[in-house]
Amino acid sequence: MQKLKELIRRHALMAGLIAVAIPLLAHLWLQYQSLSELESTLPIARRAYMRRYLSSVLDKVITNYEQKAEETLNVPATAFHHEYPNPAYMENAMNFEQISGHFSNHPFNGARLLFTAIITGEQVPNYAIVRFYNPASHSFHYKANKAEWSAAHAAAANWIAMTMTDSIPKTTQLTVDERDPKNRVIVKPIVDEKSRVVGVAGMFLNEEVFINDYLSQAIKESLPQGFPEEYQDVVVTVVDLKRDHKLVFANQPFQGQQYDVGWPIPFIFKDWFLGIRMRNMTEEQWSRRNFIVNLSVSALAALALIGGIVLALRAASRAMKLSQMKADFVSNVSHELRTPLASIRVFGEFLKLGRVKEPGKIREYGEYIETESRRLTQLINNILDFSKIESGQKTYHFEQTSVEHVVSDTLKTFEVILEQNGFTVNLERPSRPLPPVVIDPDAIAQAFINLLDNAVKYSGDSRQIEVKLAEQDDFATISVIDHGIGIASEEREKVFEKFYRVGNALVHDVKGSGLGLSIVKHIIEAHHGKVTVESELGRGSAFIIHLPVDASARVKPETRGSERLISHELKVSGETVN
């Protein structure tokens, strides 16, 4: 059980990802199944909705159209007279002035021609009078052509015949005669107070008015309500079924089939068919697009959720690692503090009790105490500097100085520690003095000491360290080279992270705070430089500090005297320090 917990702790990110991914994948599968089912049923529901839309549009158009026609054709029964049996007086059978006044007061732009009809009395029972009224001129002075005569007589025949009897019609609603598509007629029987037919009123329909003023206008007003998000892509058409589906009307240009769903026009223009379709795709294509869009959105949401969880788990994992690294840091620092303190206390007690009499031993013990004190000072300085760096309070005091001078002085202070550990340091200088640099000497010295201390800890069995000074691409470089265990390629950049320590079994017993290289990187970057590492496992490492030179202070040919002075001052650092 403990091993399982440890395994989960080490692989918390993967475990958390699996725990989230399994239910998410199950959810995506269910979503896919649901969307697939919806894809198959959506076109059916969509077509049913389109049919309802067409039906509602036609109800609105026909109701309005029929109401207007009813008002116009509802001629008063008093305008029709049957007391004139003599054909010579048949013109008095209808009060044309009264009828004309009614038509003028109830105009209907859907009618291109109006007419009234009556049959004579008993003495001449088969003689019918039909008179045509022109709405444009507001008069009965219109000579109808043969087709119009035939259409008017055919449409009014049944009602006119009923005027010969006393029978009461079952209905007085409008009737339509469309036997001649070019002369479509609506007629209405005119009944008296006894509900007997006394005459007929009718109209010839204007197709353009029906299309433009009624149908097109209703479609334009209702599309945004019926299809709020896609009304601009909806194509509504009217085709003539008797003329091989000839296109009569379309609310916008389109290509391809004329409609996906259709609905016949009732009452009038019954040979016309009102259709609807989407401009760019069929219902199946529209349904497929919705399926892909919805599934893609679900997949992207799942990926975003997984990404967020991965980031959260990664942050948690890093926090756990950082916590462990801090714990290791406290442990290592405690060890680093105890070891020199123990040595200082032991040597101090020997001196205090007077057990050491020889001057050489006293001096040796004093050197050990001094060495361990420097070691403690360096460790405490690193901790204090790290604290300042973390809080943003680290400051530097820049001045123009020589890199060679800083390196030489630092090697002298580090000489005792190197000797105690049996190390030899070879200092390699350039043939010409390096140009001055603007640096904080103490900060650069601390960075150099950290690199030397790092080389000492990880040199393994080797006891040789090389320090090289050079000028490269307007940078003064300080290289600290050891021949120890080296660093794996995947860890070379990580070694500069705070608390990070190389995960090599060969360094398991090497103690350290994990702050040295992090501090080095911060110091050098604060000087607008950089620190790089070159390493190979089993063959050692080379840490290189790059400091920008002060171009304005480069040694010029006329200042060779001062150049010799600098060279003389740094001569002592050209020796090998043992």
Q: DSSP assignment, residue 185?
A: E
Does residue 292 share a domain with residue 406?
no
d(CA 203, CA 187): 7
Domain-located, residue 354 = no
Return the CATH number at 145: 3.30.450
Residue where a domain terminates, one of 182, 205, 228: 205
Q: Tens digits of per-residue pLDDT, 125-144?
A: 556 788 999 999 999 888 88
Does residue 114 share a domain with residue 38?
no
pTM: predicted TM-score of the whole model, two decimal places = 0.50
Does residue 538 share a domain with residue 405?
yes
Return the CATH number at 441: 3.30.565.10
Does residue 436 share a domain with residue 570?
yes
Does residue 189 share a domain with residue 87?
yes
Give me the pLDDT at residue 506, please. Answer: 43
Domain-located, residue 296 = yes
Residue where a domain terminates, one of 300, 326, 352: 326
Domain-located, residue 274 = no
Give me the pLDDT at residue 268, please. Answer: 92
Give me the pLDDT at residue 218, please. Answer: 93
Handedness of CA 157, 158, 159, 161 (dihedral sign): positive
Does residue 120 share a domain with residue 170?
yes
Give me the pLDDT at residue 4, please. Answer: 61
Residue where a domain terminates, one of 205, 234, 263: 205
Rounded to a whole number of angstroms, the distance between the first and last alpha carbons of the chain is 55
Q: Tens digits of per-residue pLDDT, 154-207?
A: 999 888 878 767 678 888 889 999 999 999 999 999 988 888 888 899 999 999
Residue 57 in contact with residue 219, Cβ under 8 Å? yes
Does residue 92 share a domain with residue 12?
no
Q: What residue numbers bound the domain in which 92 lies?
A: 74-205
Give me the pLDDT at residue 122, please. Answer: 55
Give me the pLDDT at residue 505, please. Answer: 43
Give me the pLDDT at residue 499, please. Answer: 65
The domain total for the chain is 3
Domain-located, residue 495 = yes
Domain-located, residue 388 = no
Does residue 304 share a domain with residue 193?
no
Does residue 59 share a domain with residue 99?
no
Give me the pLDDT at residue 507, please. Answer: 46
Give me the pLDDT at residue 573, please. Answer: 33
Domain-located, residue 113 = yes
d(CA 34, CA 231): 27
Give me the pLDDT at residue 515, please. Answer: 72
Does residue 409 share a domain with residue 315?
no
Residue 184 in contact with residue 175, Cβ under 8 Å? no
Backbone angles phi, psi at 8, to 5 degrees: -65, -40
Does residue 516 share a domain with residue 444?
yes
Does residue 181 share a domain with residue 83?
yes
Domain-located, residue 364 = no
pLDDT < 50 stretches in the chain: 505-509, 555-578
d(CA 414, CA 374): 9
d(CA 98, CA 560): 130
d(CA 241, CA 264): 10
Domain-located, residue 402 = yes
